[in-house]
Amino acid sequence: MISTDISKANEILLKNELVAIPTETVYGLAGNAFSDIAIKKIFELKKRPFYNPLIVHLKAASSIFDVASEIPESAFILAEKFWPGPLTMVLNKQDHISDLISAGKKTVAVRVPKHPLTLALLDQLDFPLAAPSANPFGSISPTSAAHVFNYFGEEIEVILDGGECEKGLESTIIGFENTHPILYRHGSISLEEIEKITGKLSIRTNNDSSPNSPGMLSRHYAPMTDTYLTNDVSALLNFFEGKKIGLLLLKKTIQDNQIDCQEILSKSGDYTEAAKNLYAAMHRLDQNKLDVIIAERLPDEGLGKTINDKLERATKKV
């Protein structure tokens, strides 16, 4: 059921059942982070492999001490700057954090989400919420309560409706190696913005065999429809004659009677607006029974880089 009733959500969580929660990035599938019963249900419902660890959502930065230890100085500085907000940090975990959450690693991923409904819910609870994005493993992340309902229907008793997600892309993930910050996943805070605080970051966003982050798997966030990413949409169109084609474009439509539908991410070419619209546009295209989706590569700067990264993981290479 789609609802805004946080006391009902609270009740369900206390029974170690799951609820979907809005965040500023994407919707999460949430359960009690201190209950293995709840955590197992998250993996089962998402059909997520157990090697992919979960993010723990805290009510406030001060709760970091309940879950993490040996926190590097730069983590406090990043938390001060970006929390509540779309920054996830991978820190050494406390011993009581379940191996299910951390996928057997010695670390735990944490963030304080920035959404009034979810913060109000967290405030009523005496445990943090483990929550991956509320989509079946490998599918496009949901940015509205309706997206979550389309995936799971009544399998989730309460989907808290917090409207459309403000950012529309997952959180940026930073880890630390010998206290040195490393980028694990491009997200809704651009690399440039983080580097203003940390200086030049090492980037480790690709690792298929033992992913530090599933966002690192080379195919992820994928529509069901075959999707291609290209710098030159018009040129690629010629290769799909007679096919039902949908386009995903930054700001301008293309005139060509071969095209069935087109999604424009931001008429003014603004990356923040494009990020917010990206997944909803991908969901819509994917529902149009197309043969192919052709997506336009964005300039590799700011959030353009994050959008390209998500599109690359959603697409076939040309």
CB closer to ligand TXA out of 45 and 236? 45
In the complex, least distance from residue 133 CB atom to ligand TXA, rounded to whole angstroms: 4
Q: Is 133 in the site for Mg ion (CB under 5 A)?
A: yes
Residue 82 interacting partner from Mg ion, ligand TXA, none (CB closer than 5 to 8 Å by kind): none
Binding segment (CB under 6 A) for ligand TXA, from list 32-40, 66-74, 166-174, 288-296: 166-174
Binding segment (CB under 6 A) for ligand TXA, from list 53-61, 149-157, 232-240, 248-256: 53-61
CB closer to ligand TXA out of 52 and 63? 52
User: Which residue's C-beta sits nearest to Mg ion?
Assistant: 133
Q: Is 25 in the site for ligand TXA (CB under 6 A)?
A: yes
Q: Is 88 in the site for Mg ion (CB under 5 A)?
A: no
Q: Is 283 in the site for ligand TXA (CB under 6 A)?
A: no
Binder of ligand TXA out of 108, 222, 248, 295 (CB under 6 A): 108
Binder of ligand TXA out of 20, 33, 131, 233 (CB under 6 A): 131
Binder of ligand TXA out of 18, 19, 28, 205 (CB under 6 A): 28
Q: What is the 3-state secondary structure (H, E, C) of the chain?
A: CEECCHHHHHHHHHCCCCEEECCCCCCEEEEECCCHHHHHHHHHHHCCCCCCCCEEECCCHHHHHHHEECCCHHHHHHHHHHCCCCEEEEEEECCCCCHHHHCCCCEEEEECCCCHHHHHHHHHCCCCEECCECCCCCCCCCCCHHHHHHHHHHHCCEEECCCCCCCCCCCEEEEEECCEEEEEECCCCCHHHHHHHHCCCEECCCCCCCCCCHHHCCCCCCCCCEEEEECCHHHHHHHHCCCCEEEEECCCCCCCCCEEEEEECCCCCCHHHHHHHHHHHHHHHHCCCCCEEEEECCCCCCHHHHHHHHHHHHCECC
The residues that touch Mg ion, with contacts defined as CB under 5 A, are 133
